[in-house]
Amino acid sequence: MSGLIFLILGFGALILGFIGEGGHATALISWTSFVIVFGGTFGSLGTSFTLKQLKNIGSILRVAFTRKSTDLIELIFYFDHVLHKVRKDGFLGLEEELQEDENMNPFIKKGLQSAVDGVKPEDIRNMLEIEAAMSSKRHKTGASIFDSAGGTAPTMGIVGTVLGLVHVLGGLAKADMNALGGSISAAFLATLYGLGSANLIFLPIATRLKNLAKDEQLEKFIIIEAISLIQDNVSPTTLRDTLKGFLNTKDQNKLENRYFGTQNSELNKEEQQSA
Chunk the chain into consecutive blocks of 10 residues (it has 275) and report each block's average pLDDT, rounded to whole numbers: 76 80 78 92 94 89 83 92 90 86 89 93 95 91 94 95 83 64 78 93 93 92 95 92 92 83 50 45
3-state SS assignment for residue 29: coil
Tell me the DSSP string of 127-138.
HHHHHHHHHHHH
For residue 204, what pLDDT is reported? 93
Q: What is the CA radius of gyration of the chain?
A: 28
What torsion do the CA atoms of 53, 59, 61, 62 make, to the nearest 10 degrees? -170
For residue 264, what pLDDT is reported? 47
Q: Please, are residues 218 and 13 in contact by the beta-carbon 8 Å criterion?
A: no
For residue 70, what pLDDT is reported? 85
Q: Please, are residues 110 and 128 in contact by the beta-carbon 8 Å criterion?
A: yes
The Cα-based distances of 196 to 5, 23, 202, 238 in angstroms read: 16, 17, 9, 51
Kindly report the pTM of this predicted structure: 0.81
For residue 44, what pLDDT is reported? 95
Contacts of 12 (CB under 8 A, 6+ apart): none
For residue 182, what pLDDT is reported? 66
Contacts of 134 (CB under 8 A, 6+ apart): none
